[in-house]
Structure 1
């Protein structure tokens, strides 16, 4: 990748739809020659460009970000999440999950029926700032929903435009 920026002016590099890791790589390549601005999509880029000046650094998640629980075992109805050994079981049957699926379910189970925003889940599960595109979270939720066995009463409910919450039978 070759980036030329005039030495008399500090330029901007606009990264649209890239992960924060990719934006960080661009920032490393341009060093002091330009400010790197990250936007989730073209609408976000237009909003950033229309503002007085772009924000520097990683975007801050909207709202307060929940911190990981200090407990090591979460029991919610038939769901058991053992954080110490990273195992999940439903009604005694072990459920095999990927790292992200486990972290997502652990976050949702830590406070059942609480609505978790896309920004909170992105920060907690992916350890990165939220850029306004919920696709990564939505895809992970779809995969996790497929793994949850029907008939257990466990449901990951969508809260349109906000995020998700875990519903557990009483």
Structure 2
């Protein structure tokens, strides 16, 4: 499917990467002045608008999400938080000397949570930091990964990934 601007005498507002609630609010505010179209990402927007024939302009874009940060080169060293030790070079995790086997995403999630112990990580921050994509308003991906990480950590004990209702998660490590 693609959009043909000649199909309507109204203009278009293209919401790229915004949660559906935000797109609905834009549509409500625009009323009958424009057609509001939602796309999950720039590739979807390009497909809707006819691919490479479209000239892209950022003028007038009010609510575009920030681009995710570039992937950082692998770090060497380790994070030590109480009984938790995360070796960033070998990607190994131990709790009180017991090895914990984690998937790539589980490891990256744990590194994010352990990197700043005194803060709550929002769903959006974890999505950008761990998955290196923009947050589209659906916390299910983060929630599922946290559920798997909690299961792995529970097998060893000593750590807790605590929920902060409606905000995100934080890592609790005993002293």
**TM-score past 0.5 threshold:** yes
- Is residue 152 of structure 2 the alignment partner of residue 147 of structure 1? yes
Contact 2:120 2:164 (C-alpha < 8 Å) held by counterparts: yes
Q: CA deviation at 1:151?
A: 6.2
- Is residue 100 of structure 2 the alignment partner of residue 101 of structure 1? no
| Alignment TM-score, normalising by the size of structure 2 | 0.67
Contact 1:12 1:34 (C-alpha < 8 Å) held by counterparts: no
How far, CA to CA, are the matches of 1:125 and 1:154 in structure 2?
Answer: 20
Q: CA deviation at 1:7?
A: 4.7
Partner of 1:125: 130
| 3-state SS, counterpart of residue 170 of structure 2 | strand
How far, CA to CA, are the matches of 2:112 and 2:174 in structure 1?
Answer: 18
Is the radius of gyration larger for structure 1 or structure 2?
Answer: 2
How far, CA to CA, are the matches of 2:92 and 2:46 in structure 1?
Answer: 38
How far, CA to CA, are the matches of 1:14 and 1:34 in structure 2?
Answer: 16
| 3-state SS, counterpart of residue 138 of structure 2 | coil
| Match 1:24 to one of 30, 36, 42 | 42
Partner of 1:6: 5
Partner of 1:168: 173
Superposed counterparts of 1:20-169, under 5 Å? 23-29=41-47, 30-31=50-51, 32-33=53-54, 55=62, 57=64, 59-60=65-66, 72-150=77-155, 152-169=157-174
**Residues 1:33 and 1:114: Cα distance change in structure 2 (over 3 Å):** same
Q: Gaps spanning 5+ residues in structure 1: where?
A: 36-52
| Alignment TM-score, normalising by the size of structure 1 | 0.68
How far, CA to CA, are the matches of 2:62 and 2:118 in structure 1?
Answer: 34
Q: CA deviation at 1:5?
A: 0.8
Q: Gaps spanning 5+ residues in structure 2: where?
A: 21-38
Matched positions, count: 145
> CA RMSD of the aligned region, Å?
3.4
* Superposed CA offset, 1:93-134 (max 9, x none): 221111111000001011224211111111100111112221
How far, CA to CA, are the matches of 1:55 and 1:34 in structure 2?
Answer: 18
